[in-house]
């Protein structure tokens, strides 16, 4: 018997069997690696295994809850806040219109012709024009640029809801936000039904949201 622990050669010329693989079955280079099974997540849910695509946004992620779609009431509240912001921006125009109305005289001729005349300076006209420009600029900045880039208009930020792309989970961009305002025309046909659709829709979407693939979720502004 050898002192080194090496087994003696087989007197019949046969090779000893190879040692067992401590890691399971021997690897076959012709076979692709087996798909790694999903590993348990110590924080709840299940992580996707090797080669598995992550779940799409809006679907249950790693066993967690589905997207928290914003309720219709919050969406209406955000719209009202945004409207109030626009009204504040347009205050100079309203003041100018009130001054113009107070200084306008209407007369009716014997033949029934109605004539109006106003005695206001150029400053009042400038006030009206500036007010309307502010209203337009603030509306574009708030609804198109700000909401498109961050997902939050001022109203949505106040109510803690966010506009995102359903597929990516990211803000939709200024161009898509502008297009969404135009597509909202579909929501008014017929009888503003599209604006009421989130009341019973599973994803709380208007017709415009469905056409453009957008959703509004509960997510407070950081």
- Tens-level pLDDT at each residue, the chain (222 residues): 545 555 555 555 555 565 655 555 555 555 555 555 555 555 444 555 555 555 454 444 333 356 899 999 999 999 999 999 999 999 999 998 888 888 877 777 676 676 677 777 788 889 999 999 999 999 999 999 999 999 999 999 999 999 999 999 999 999 999 999 999 999 998 899 999 999 999 999 999 999 999 999 999 988
Number of Cβ atoms within 10 Å of the Cβ of 92: 18
Number of Cβ atoms within 10 Å of the Cβ of 119: 8
Question: In angstroms, rounded to a whole number, what is the distance separating the alpha carbons of residues 83 and 78?
Answer: 9
Residue 178: what pLDDT? Answer: 97
Q: Where are the alpha helices (DSSP H) in the chain?
A: 72-89, 91-102, 122-139, 147-150, 154-159, 174-183, 193-196, 207-212
Peptide bond preceding 189: is omega within 30 degrees of 0, i.e. cis?
A: no
Closest CA to 168 of 124, 213, 132: 213
Measured CA distances, 141 to 18, 85, 110, 130, 179 (Å): 74, 11, 51, 16, 14
Q: Which residues pair with 163 in a beta bridge?
A: 216
Question: In angstroms, rounded to a whole number, what is the distance separating the alpha carbons of residues 176 and 191?
Answer: 25
Instruction: Bin 173: left if φ > 0, else alpha if -120 < ψ < 50, else beta.
Output: left
The DSSP call for residue 218 is E
């Amino acid at each position: 018997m050898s002192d080194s622990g090496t087994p003696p050669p087989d007197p019949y010329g046969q090779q000893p069997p190879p040692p067992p693989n401590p890691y399971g079955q021997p690897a076959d280079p012709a076979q692709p690696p087996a798909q790694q099974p999903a590993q348990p997540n110590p924080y709840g849910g299940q992580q996707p295994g090797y080669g598995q695509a992550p779940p799409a946004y809006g679907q249950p992620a790693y066993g967690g809850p589905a997207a928290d779609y914003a309720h219709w009431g919050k969406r209406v509240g955000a719209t009202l806040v945004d409207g109030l912001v626009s009204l504040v921006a347009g205050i100079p125009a309203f003041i100018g219109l009130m001054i113009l109305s107070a200084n306008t005289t209407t007369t009716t001729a014997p033949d029934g012709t109605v004539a109006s005349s106003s005695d206001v300076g150029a400053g009042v006209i400038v006030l009206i024009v500036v007010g309307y420009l502010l209203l337009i600029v603030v509306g574009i900045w708030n609804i198109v640029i700000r909401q498109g880039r961050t997902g939050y208009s001022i109203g949505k930020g106040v109510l803690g809801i966010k506009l995102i792309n359903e597929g990516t989970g990211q803000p939709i961009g200024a161009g898509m936000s502008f297009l969404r305002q135009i597509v909202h025309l579909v929501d008014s046909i017929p009888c503003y039904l599209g604006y009421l659709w989130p009341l019973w829709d599973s994803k709380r979407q208007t017709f415009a949201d469905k056409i453009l693939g957008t959703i509004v979720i509960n997510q407070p502004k950081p």
